[in-house]
Amino acid sequence: MDRGTGEVVCVPNAPGPILHGIRGDDAGACRAVAEAIESEPVARAATFLTNQGTDAHLAPGSIGDLRDGAGYRVDGVVASDPVTKRGGHVHLDVAEAGEGDVADASRSAAVEAGGGDDGVGRLRCLAFKPTGRFRDRVRALRPGDRVTVCGEHERRALPDRAEEAGTLKLEKFAVRGLVRTERAVPTCPDCERSMSSAGRGQGYRCRDCGTDASGKVERVVGRAIERGWYEVPPSARRHVAKPLVRGGFDGPIHPER
């Protein structure tokens, strides 16, 4: 079940003869749980060895070389601020990571590493409204963060793109590196107020104290997300998607219950 919403997810929503299904690592434990469920009389039961809950549908992929309808794991760098659009879906662009991309670089440098403003060479990632609280994890990302994004790829024409763009429907993602600093207007050491621009290419100056600075400074920023893997909650999880609690992931996990 989804402990966040209280929704039972072992019972199919569609009409049909299937009463419930239990997935697990041990066949005996699955049968024991099934026998403990109070339901209509059970006519038949079967135990299957299945690829459900395995991420078998995800293959390594590269931006610009993804097939329509296939599932992928794609490494990249966040290239846009997350935006919540009509319907509650969260949009995020990811660009191919270059050798010079460093997660602890400044925000401005990270945006430059992500590419230009035309969206060329970027992969649009979508966290749909039904993924619920997973969208807050996506909203916590910022340009320059290094990530691995996972989901089904779809070729679709987006209203904010001049050309057809690839879209990845997010199922899970891993934070590989976080931007920890940003370029900020310097603060006056005397009055502790923000300085003002002294003119193009002339740095900054405090109008009250007369102190000056040659340019912007690095400022540490707090982050509401950590390194590691994040996933959609059970109520939004595909049958084939591997829950983080099953283990075997290449980093810390932050599982949804």
Cα 127 from Cα 137, distance rounded (Å): 10
Q: What are the average pLDDT values for consecutive 10-residue runs of the chain, which has 257 residues?
A: 89 88 93 92 93 96 93 96 95 82 46 44 93 97 97 76 71 97 91 89 89 90 96 95 96 96
What tens digit of pLDDT does each residue of 163-179 get? 445 899 999 999 999 99
Cα 187 from Cα 217, distance rounded (Å): 9
Q: DSSP E strands: which ranges in 135-200?
A: 146-156, 165-177, 181-184, 196-197
Res 108: pLDDT:
40
For the chain, the domains span 1-49, 58-179+221-254, 181-220
Res 2: pLDDT:
92
Res 162: pLDDT:
41
What tens digit of pLDDT does each residue of 29-78 get? 999 999 999 989 999 999 999 999 999 999 999 998 999 999 999 999 99
Residue 221's nearest CA partner among 194, 175, 182, 193 is 182
Query: 62-80 b/e with 16+ CB inside 10 Å = b?
Result: ebeebeeeebbbbbbbbbb
Q: What fold is seen in the domain 58-179+221-254?
A: OB fold (Dihydrolipoamide Acetyltransferase, E2P) (2.40.50)
Q: Which residue has the tokens 């135990």?
A: 47
